[in-house]
Amino acid sequence: MSKFHARLVGLSALIAVALGLSGCGINEIPRQDEQVKAAWSQVLNEYQRRNDLIPNLVNTVKGYAHQEQTVLTEVIQARAKATQTQINLPPDVLSNPQAFHQFEQSQTNLGNALGRLLVVSERYPELKSNENFLALQSQLEGTENRIAVARRDYIEAVRQYNTELRTIPGRWIAALFYPDATVKENFTAESGAMSVPKVDFGKGS
């Protein structure tokens, strides 16, 4: 067999292997990786939406309940910490346990502080009937729902991606073609734990 013929046979075998791997899902890992990134971007967008609502909410509450300075300060500080954490997220946050869970904790703390603020607001009938406050509360509740959905979609995307990396043939394909692929971090708390408590903001006391 000539060298040319041997090379031709080798090339044909390589193409056959590549086509076989394609049929076995060689593109599944990068496809699912992109899904995880898209889901994560949506999580960040929804948390940013919540951050943007907070200054107006705090100012509105302050106008009627300025004596609740401790709770107001908690919200302001928690928002500052969450914003700073989000701004400083490293590029590898999804595979960086410390950075990922630091981000998660900062958002949880902010959600808890917001919950306390809304509960305190129940003490002020005039605030509860304020149209601006009611509108902000409604927007915040809607945002919390979107956060829950975004987290759920991210959790599912990561579950599929991590399963692909840990099972055969995905594990083999990753070792051969995507050696830098690593499992992604996931949220540790239930998405509902981030929701603002349901309180009655109807008019009147």
For residue 108, what are its two tokens?
């949880």
Residue 193: the pLDDT is 43
Could you report the per-residue pLDDT of 124-137, keeping only the tens digit for each?
Answer: 999 989 999 999 99
Residue with tokens 């601006």: 132
pTM: 0.81
The 3-state secondary structure of 71-132 reads HHHHHHHHHHHHHHHHHCCCCCHHHCHHHHHHHHHHHHHHHHHHHHHHHHHCCCHHHHCCHH
Domain ranges for the chain, please list them.
38-194
Length of the chain: 205
Residues of the chain with pLDDT under 70: 1-24, 189-205
Give the tokens for residue 166: 């840990």
- Pairwise CA distance, residues 154 & 79, whole Å: 22
Q: For position 195, what pLDDT does the model report? A: 46
Instruction: Tell me if 177 sits within 8 A of 26, measured CB to CB.
Output: yes
Say which amino acid occupies 144: E
Task: Note the pLDDT of residue 28.
Answer: 95
* Side chain identity at residue 2, one-letter code: S
pLDDT for res 203: 39
What pLDDT shows up at residue 7?
A: 56
Nearest to 196 by CA among 75, 64, 34, 41: 75
Distance CA 80, CA 183 (A): 30
CA–centroid distance for 174 within its chain: 25
